[in-house]
Amino acid sequence: MKNKQLDKPTQEYLNGLRQDIVFSETLCGHTLQFHTTWGLFSPKNVDEGSRLLLDHLEVNKDDNTLDLGCGYGPLGLTLAKLAPEGNSVLVDKDFVAVEYSKKNAELNQINNTSIFLSNGFNQVGDTKFDLIVSNLPAKTGKELYYLYFYDALARLNPGGRFYVVTISGLRKFVARAFDEVFGNYKKVKQGKTYTVAMARIE
């Protein structure tokens, strides 16, 4: 079968789609430039849930932080700026996300980061953190959430905090699961679509 030849406008359109999407965002007072691509979560701007989470975080300048499911890096790179005396670890199970997080760290001259491929916590090792954050995917089984929660519990320092943002329809499940796993739960902020929750290691 003969290959169909694409007309010039279609070829130009496709070539355009293959180029990086580039935009700037001001997050927690820091203006960052991001390169993203189609197929990554919220490729044209930082999503509402991540913004809500960043607006309600408690971060110390020397916190060691982990962004679980980092995508192209808006959470983890902002944490690196907010905690310049700590190390910000960014992990994702998608190698494209990891490559774009690395690119964005370099682009914004953020050097206090470690960015690598990991399915959940499975490549994180025994490193302990003061702060772990995650923009949890909505269409994932509760089994995976429990894995994340218990793995976070095992890797938080005393006094450490675990923040998640979810669609608001999951807020009651998160409240029950946090009480079960961490022994405490705080609803930090509930917006129209998303809810930010936090648990603390006492």
Q: How far apart are CA 142 and CA 159, in angstroms?
A: 26
Burial of 66 (0-12, 13-18, 19+ CB in 10 A): buried
Does residue 17 fall inside a structural domain? no
pTM given for the model: 0.93
Q: Which of 191, 186, 189 is nearest to 174 (CA)?
A: 186
What CATH number is given to the structural domain containing 129?
3.40.50.150
123-143 pLDDT tens trace = 999 999 999 999 998 888 899
82-133 pLDDT tens trace = 999 999 999 999 999 999 999 999 999 999 999 999 999 999 999 999 999 9
Does residue 93 fall inside a structural domain? yes
| Domain count of the fold of the chain | 1
Q: How far apart are CA 91 and CA 98, in angstroms?
A: 7
Does residue 118 fall inside a structural domain? yes
What letter represents residue 74's amino acid?
P
